[in-house]
Amino acid sequence: MSSITWRRIVVSDEVVIPSVAGRHEQVMYTATIKDESGSPVLFPIHVTIQILDGTAVVKSVVVPLNPPYYDMATGRFTASITAPWVDKSYTVRLRWDQQSNSAMGIGYLSGNTPGVSLSIVGIIRVSVLVRDAYLEPSVVRPGQLVTYVATVEDTRGAPILQSFQALLKINTAAVNVPFNIYYNPWTRRLTVPFTAPTVPGQYSVKLEWFDQATMTY
């Protein structure tokens, strides 16, 4: 029988984004997770993101410590959980049970984090921020495929909702941009392919959108 070397997990830089959210909104929990020696977790243990009202768990989701949630190089963990629908203040924390891998001879002791605050309010009004926009390639032949790339998030630093709709304007022409297809909420990157105009010339390409609301309940 192989012996197990037990290690303690250390969690730092615990953050929830946004910290003030709407009812039923998706929030991102992120933290750095390593063992007591500063090494990354060496096999995919399962951790649980919990939302607590006092000491009562009102929401939870189990996530494995492997890609795309866990970066072995940095120890950074990011996953989402749906916010409660009752307006009040909560605590979001990470919890894990004792787990081991007999083939590797390594085990991790159980534990949990102190947690961070999450406030739920009925209506959230935010602006959309677009930065680092570029075209790939920027010089093309008429009718060639082009890709518009930009980082898009709201003023809280949170990802844009998947129900969001925008338009990519090429001068006066427009391409529909449904975010559930072209947007990665983990990286905040929007990637929209489109066909260049067939008439040679200089064109302006920009992202436009209108006021939108998502019903929370």
Question: At 73, which CATH number?
Answer: 2.60.40.1930
In a domain, 217, yes or no: no
In a domain, 24, yes or no: yes
* pLDDT band with cut points at 50, 70 and 90 for residue 128: very high
What does the buried/exposed string (b/e) look like for 9-45 if buried means 16 or more CB atoms within 10 Å of the residue's CB?
bebeebebbbebbbbebebbbebbbbbeeeebbeebb
* pLDDT band with cut points at 50, 70 and 90 for residue 217: very low
Contact 118, 27 (CB under 8 A): yes
User: How much is the pTM?
Assistant: 0.70
In a domain, 216, yes or no: no
Within the chain, residue ranges assigned H as helices are 179-182
Largest separation between any pair of C-alpha atoms in the chain: 74
Using only C-alpha atoms, the chain has a radius of gyration, in whole angstroms, of 22
User: Does 93 lie in the same domain as 45?
Assistant: yes
Last residue of a domain, one of 92, 121, 150: 121
What's the number of domains the chain is made of? 2
User: Does 85 lie in the same domain as 38?
Assistant: yes
What would the mean pLDDT of 166-171 be, rounded to a whole number? Answer: 94
Residue with tokens 């909560």: 90
Burial of 199 (0-12, 13-18, 19+ CB in 10 A): exposed
In a domain, 215, yes or no: no
Average pLDDT over all residues of the chain: 92
Q: Give the Cα separation of 190 and 114 in Å (integer).
A: 34
User: Does 151 lie in the same domain as 44?
Assistant: no
In a domain, 95, yes or no: yes
Q: Is the pLDDT at 208 greater than 70, yes or no?
A: yes
In a domain, 150, yes or no: yes
* pLDDT band with cut points at 50, 70 and 90 for residue 163: confident
User: Does 9 lie in the same domain as 110?
Assistant: yes
In a domain, 213, yes or no: no
User: Does 135 lie in the same domain as 64?
Assistant: no
Distances (CA, A) of 141 to 137, 149, 195: 10, 19, 10
Where in the sequence is the domain holding 203, given as residue range(s)?
A: 128-208
User: Does 29 lie in the same domain as 110?
Assistant: yes
* Residue-wise pLDDT tens digits, 38-90: 999 999 999 999 999 999 999 999 999 999 999 999 999 999 999 998 999 99
pLDDT exceeding 70 applies to what percent of the chain? 97
Pairing of strands 9-17, 111-112: unpaired
User: Does 117 lie in the same domain as 135?
Assistant: no
Total length of the chain: 217
Last residue of a domain, one of 121, 154, 186: 121
Q: Give the Cα separation of 134 and 12 in Å (integer).
A: 34
The whole-number pLDDT of residue 214 equals 61
Last residue of a domain, one of 121, 155, 183: 121
User: Does 107 lie in the same domain as 31?
Assistant: yes
The whole-number pLDDT of residue 158 equals 86
User: Does 101 lie in the same domain as 32?
Assistant: yes
The whole-number pLDDT of residue 122 equals 77
The whole-number pLDDT of residue 63 equals 96
